[in-house]
Copies of this chain bind each other. A is one copy, B any other.
Amino acid sequence: MTSLLNRYMERTSRRVDAVLERLLAPEAEEPEAIRKAMRYSIFAGGKRLRPCLVAAGAECCGGNAGRVLKTGAALEMIHTYSLIHDDLPAMDDDDLRRGKPTSHKVFGEALAILAGDGLLTLAFETAAANARECGLTGSATAELVKVIASGSGTSGMVGGQVADLGAEKWRRRLPRARAARLLEYIHLHKTAALIVASLEAGAILAGGTAAQRRALRAYGRAIGLSFQVADDILDVVGDKKKLGKKGSDAANQKLTYVSLYGLDRARREAAVLTRRAHAALRPFGRRAWLLRDLADYIVTRDR
């Protein structure tokens, strides 16, 4: 990671954490357990990639990162809710996440489901409140909600997760070309869609143009895919202690870039996607320095 990118991400992370701290402060009126479960997963670590993308998306369109932190927090809540639900026994059945016991292991399944539901709900409220603070019109506010919902719902992340669940059964029966299409569908929806939504949300809050949003979407799809390819690679070659999870994808014989293409071709694919991401940023000139560094970092990180 370049030191500039590192500094930007650490600063954004601190600022977003302060916002999350306020938004998820204990409420005397609410059962203690639910806030506790929501906070446990929100503050379990993570680089706050999506909030950084909201901030960078706004900055690319001439906006101010400090004014879109709440929407960054909202996207982080949606990311966190998806991890909580994905880890459930009925889904991926993971006991550990970032080296810590998963939500359902600590709070039980019922509370884990509800903590996810609560985070998803609070996310929309938070983003809409941010739109109001930024003085958005009704139409732009509705557009912000729509972009976030599209990235996280059945046309985005939820759709990707459904396809991913099915993939385990299907992969042995699918011809290679169809498996490849399914894999891209899963990655584009399970990961890229929320990354795209983060960038576009920032752009909408900053009053970005249609062309700017289009460029950010292309960039987001590219890094969303490269992020997941890199993840698949890390799952195989990464230091397992560092990752804090048990390489469960390989153990479950899941459909991954590495299982389908092998390690070498997966690495080449990541390089192609990174070049595509850089190309998409051209119209933004210097303003996009962070997103450029980020595209490189995503394929070289250790998770």
Count how many chain A residues have C-beta atoms less than 8 Å from C-beta atoms of the other chain: 54
Contact flag A158-B109 (CB < 8 Å), given A125-B145, A136-B138, A153-B125? no
Question: Taking A113-B85, A141-B142 as contacts, is the C-beta distance between A122 and B153 under 8 angstroms?
Answer: yes
Whether A90 pairs with B110 at a CB distance below 8 angstroms is: yes
- Extra 6 A-B pairs, beta carbons < 8 Å, given A34-B154, A34-B162, A85-B117: A31-B162, A90-B108, A118-B154, A121-B149, A125-B153, A128-B146
Are B33 and A155 neighbours in the complex by a CB distance under 8 Å?
A: no
Q: Restricting to A157-174, which residues have a CB under 8 Å from any CB of B?
A: 158-159, 161-163, 165-166
Of all A-B residue pairs in the complex, the 3 with the closest CB atoms, nearest first, are: A90-B109, A125-B149, A121-B153
Interchain CA distance A88-B108 in the complex, whole Å: 13
The reply to whether B159 and A34 contact each other, CB–CB distance below 8 Å, is: yes
State whether the Cβ of A66 lies closer than 8 Å to any Cβ in chain B.
Answer: no
Within 8 Å of chain B (Cβ to Cβ): is A132? yes
The docked-state distance in angstroms from the alpha carbon of A159 to that of B146 is 26
With A34-B159, A166-B33 as given contacts, are A129 and B110 in contact (CB-CB < 8 Å)? no
* Contact in complex: A141, B128 (CB < 8 Å): yes
Indicate if A152 sits at the interface (CB-CB under 8 A).
Answer: yes
Which A residues are closer than 8 A to B by beta carbons?
27, 29-31, 33-35, 38, 81, 85, 88, 90-91, 108-111, 113-114, 116-118, 120-122, 124-125, 128-129, 131-132, 135-142, 145-146, 149-150, 152-155, 158-159, 161-163, 165-166
The chain B residue sitting closest to A29, CB to CB, is B155
Query: Which of B91, B118, B149 has a CB less than 8 Å from the CB of A113?
Result: B91
**A124-B124, A141-B142 are known contacts. Are A154 and B113 too (CB-CB below 8 A)?**
no
CB closest chain-B residue, reference A137: B138
Overall SS of chain A's interface: helix
Cβ-closest chain B residue relative to A140: B138
Q: Which residue on B lies nearest to A163, using beta carbons? A: B31
- Residues on B with C-beta less than 8 A from A90 are 108-110, 113
Contact for A31 among B31, B35, B108, B159, CB less than 8 A: B159
In the complex, are the beta carbons of B111 and A165 less than 8 A apart?
yes
Indicate if the CB atoms of A125 and B154 lie closer than 8 Å: no
Contact pick for A30, options B118, B141, B152, B155, CB 8 Å: B155
- A158→B91 contact, CB < 8 A: no
Whether B118 pairs with A91 at a CB distance below 8 angstroms is no
A-B contact pairs, 5 of them (CB 8 A): A31-B166, A88-B109, A117-B153, A121-B158, A129-B146
Q: B31 to A152, Cβ gap below 8 A? A: no
* A162 CA / B33 CA spacing, docked (Å): 8
Question: Across the interface, do B138 and A122 meet the contact criterion of CB distance under 8 Å?
Answer: no
Closest B residue to A88 by CB, please name it. B113
How many Å lie between the Cα of A39 and that of B82 in the bound state?
22
A120, B122: Cα distance in complex, Å = 11
